[in-house]
Amino acid sequence: MLFTSLKDVVNNGPNFLPQLSIDCVIFGYHANQLKVLLCQLLHSDQYALPGGFIGLQEDIGDAAKRILAERTGLTQIYLEQFGTFGQPQRTDRQTHQRTLEACGIPYGPDLWLLKRFVSIGYYALVDYQKVVPTPDVFSGSCAWHDSHALPPLLFDHAAMIEKALDMLRLMLDHKLVGFNLLPDTFTMGELQGVYETILNQKLQRTNFQRKMLSLGILERVEKKYGGGSHKAPYLYRFDTKTTPS
Amino acid sequence: MLFTSLKDVVNNGPNFLPQLSIDCVIFGYHANQLKVLLCQLLHSDQYALPGGFIGLQEDIGDAAKRILAERTGLTQIYLEQFGTFGQPQRTDRQTHQRTLEACGIPYGPDLWLLKRFVSIGYYALVDYQKVVPTPDVFSGSCAWHDSHALPPLLFDHAAMIEKALDMLRLMLDHKLVGFNLLPDTFTMGELQGVYETILNQKLQRTNFQRKMLSLGILERVEKKYGGGSHKAPYLYRFDTKTTPS
């Protein structure tokens, strides 16, 4: 189910579950900012979360993974459902009509895409450096945005990001998901930076370090003395053998 | 949208969002047990979570409240979404076909009810004593069951209950939702019983009491000395003026 054009998607309506979509809040961490991946809609000032539809026989989680892979180039991604959005007025016909008209795609009044949609939200935590942002058929570009300075967003996508952040904060302690935002190896300071950015509060360094090390899930990587300073901080790696599920 | 018979629901397919349903895990607390409300399916040994469908223009949260009101008789209920279930094989045609045949309801092979359904799960916390369990059109009876001794369940409803319990445990500390399972006034021992039952572990009495009182959300009710023992424990009430949202 890889579509090459908006027209291709429009014509494939009967192959999707009706009136149900998926939207993904993809979080990355860079330069002490929590970033969100957004696509700018064709012929519009609005931005949208990467999203898509579900094949008639496709698992909803598999659909989310497919959408994430298409937008980021990554296949092994940490993702979690965070809520399903179903207010009757959350989507509107006019937005899609404008896009279809601007793209010169003919449509009838009963087009599947113009109906009310309920959307299942997934948030994903990715290694910022590994992502190759790739626009979908609804958008001209796809790029990272600071979660504190978001551009105008489609439908209820701003509320979706807010809800995803709430859930991420709740899960941060519970499942220690923060690691997924870092490269394979990282310093304790970088890890603390991720937590402080997401929680939006300063943490006490020695307490943070003690807590993280006490969990027994961080492996210290041997220092390389290839000309670097002896004072270079230790690097850690997430010990996958003991990763809690 | 109140249906009086299964046939009535079957004929109303075009008035529902297609291939989307709601299932509710309704928790009650009684005699140190966490109970779940289940409906026994007509002409079957299987039990199902109270569920239903969503009107074409109905908010999904409103649909959940409507279903909860119909099954419990209560309108002010604490409820939270806990996940959406969308494996393609989670529902099967045969179960519904058997019910329709046993009830003598004619149907065609393309009946909406026989298609794949994605289901949005809500859990609700109710005051056990106030609930009047009421069966729906798919079931002959509706009753409480101990969450540790569940009967054979329809589709993926056992996994839904498991997931709802996970989310309830996670939320118990975070949002202090446990109060919703108790009557309007309760003793500290009863509150501790709720927490211990849900978390499935003993808690230390003085620590528990100190923590609960430190939150500033419990109001102590004046003791009535109408013949009761002077040693009767204090009663508390959830202070709604300071209830965290």
- Site from A84, A167, A245 to mutate, B interface, most B CB atoms within 10 angstroms: A84
Q: Is the pLDDT of residue B9 over 90?
A: yes
What fold is seen in the domain A6-173? Nucleoside Triphosphate Pyrophosphohydrolase (3.90.79)
Q: B160 to chain A, minimum CA–CA distance in Å?
A: 14
* Structure-token pair, residue B82: 């806990």
Residue of chain B minimizing CA distance to A64: B86
Instruction: Please state the rounded mean pLDDT for residues B49-54.
Output: 97
CB B118 within 8 A of CB A20: yes
Instruction: Please state the rounded mean pLDDT for residues B133-143.
Output: 93
What's the pLDDT score for residue B239?
78
Q: B91 to chain A, minimum CA–CA distance in Å?
A: 12
Q: A137 to chain B, minimum CA–CA distance in Å?
A: 25
Reported as a pLDDT band with limits 50, 70 and 90, residue A245 is very low
Average pLDDT, chain A: 91
Instruction: Please state the rounded mean pLDDT for residues B107-120.
Output: 97
Write the pLDDT tens digit of every residue in A189-221.
999 999 999 999 999 999 999 988 888 888 998
Reported as a pLDDT band with limits 50, 70 and 90, residue B243 is very low
What is the rounded CA–CA span in Å between residue B17 and residue A215?
46
What's the pLDDT score for residue A230?
63
What's the pLDDT score for residue B166?
93
A86 vs B116: CB contact, 8 Å cut-off?
no
Residue of chain B minimizing CA distance to A175: B170
A86 vs B170: CB contact, 8 Å cut-off?
no
For B183, list phi and psi in degrees, rounded to 5: -65, 180
Chain A partners within 8 Å of B93 (Cβ): none
Chain A partners within 8 Å of B84 (Cβ): 60, 81, 84, 120
What's the pLDDT score for residue B171?
86
What is the rounded CA–CA span in Å between residue A182 and residue A189?
12
Strands (E), chain A: 16-30, 33-41, 47-48, 51-55, 78-85, 118-125, 139-146, 185-186, 218-221, 235-238
Q: Is the pLDDT of residue A222 over 80?
A: no
Average pLDDT, chain B: 91
Q: B156-159 long-range CB contacts below 8 Å, 24 or more apart?
A: B156/B85, B156/B87, B156/B90, B157/B23, B157/B47, B157/B48, B157/B49, B159/B85
Q: Is the pLDDT of residue B116 over 70?
A: yes
Reported as a pLDDT band with limits 50, 70 and 90, residue B3 is confident
Chain A partners within 8 Å of B168 (Cβ): none
Facing B59 at nearest CB: one of A83, A86, A120: A86
B61 vs A18: CB contact, 8 Å cut-off?
no
What is the rounded CA–CA span in Å between residue A5 and residue A25?
23
Write the pLDDT tens digit of every residue in A47-88.
999 999 999 999 999 999 999 999 999 998 999 999 999 999
* Interface residues on A facing B, Cβ-Cβ cutoff 8 A: 17-20, 54, 56-61, 81, 83-84, 86-88, 116, 118, 120, 170, 174
Q: B14 to chain A, minimum CA–CA distance in Å?
A: 13
Share of chain B above pLDDT 90, in %: 76
Domain residues of chain B, as ranges?
6-178, 184-242
Facing B60 at nearest CB: one of A84, A170, A174: A84
CA nearest to B118, candidates A116, A119, A202: A119
Facing B120 at nearest CB: one of A84, A88, A170: A84
Q: Is the pLDDT of residue B115 over 80?
A: yes
What's the pLDDT score for residue B244?
44
CB A182 within 8 A of CB A190: yes
Write the pLDDT tens digit of every residue in B179-231.
889 998 999 999 999 999 999 999 999 999 998 888 888 899 876 655 555 67
Write the pLDDT tens digit of every residue in B80-102.
999 999 999 999 999 999 999 99
What's the pLDDT score for residue A228?
56
Q: B48 to chain A, minimum CA–CA distance in Å?
A: 22
* Structure-token pair, residue B54: 């969503």
DSSP code per residue over A85-114: E--TTSS-HHHHHHHHHHTT----TT-GGG
What is the domain class of B6-178 according to CATH? alpha beta
B118 vs A88: CB contact, 8 Å cut-off?
no
Please state, in angstroms and as integers, the Cα–Cα distance from residue B243 to each residue in A98, A239, B101, B192, following that order: 45, 40, 50, 19
Domain A184-242: assigned CATH number: 1.10.10.10
Distance from first CA to last CA of chain B, Å, rounded? 30
Facing B84 at nearest CB: one of A56, A57, A81: A81
Facing A60 at nearest CB: one of B54, B59, B86: B86
Which segment of A241-245, B35-39, B160-164, B191-195 scores lowest on mean pLDDT?
A241-245
* Structure-token pair, residue A128: 């910022």
What is the rounded CA–CA span in Å between residue B209 and residue B233?
13
Reported as a pLDDT band with limits 50, 70 and 90, residue B241 is low
pTM of the model: 0.92
Q: A76 to chain B, minimum CA–CA distance in Å?
A: 20
Chain A partners within 8 Å of B18 (Cβ): 18-19
Please state, in angstroms and as integers, the Cα–Cα distance from residue A174 to each residue in A26, A107, B234, following that order: 20, 47, 34
* Interface residues on B facing A, Cβ-Cβ cutoff 8 A: 17-20, 54, 56-61, 81, 83-84, 86-88, 116, 118, 120, 170, 174
What's the pLDDT score for residue B245?
42
Chain B partners within 8 Å of A81 (Cβ): 83-84
Pairing mode of beta strands A118-125, A16-30: parallel
SS3 A162: helix
Which segment of A169-173, B54-58, B59-63, B88-92 scores lowest on mean pLDDT?
A169-173
DSSP code per residue over B151-205: --BSTTHHHHHHHHHHHHHHHHHHH-GGGGGS-SEE-HHHHHHHHHHHHTS---H
What is the rounded CA–CA span in Å between residue B40 and residue B52?
15
What is the rounded CA–CA span in Å between residue B142 and residue B123?
17
Q: B83 to chain A, minimum CA–CA distance in Å?
A: 7
Q: Is the pLDDT of residue B77 over 50?
A: yes
B83 vs A81: CB contact, 8 Å cut-off?
yes
Q: Is the pLDDT of residue A123 over 70?
A: yes
Chain B partners within 8 Å of A87 (Cβ): 59-60
Instruction: Please state the rounded mean pLDDT for residues B104-119.
Output: 96
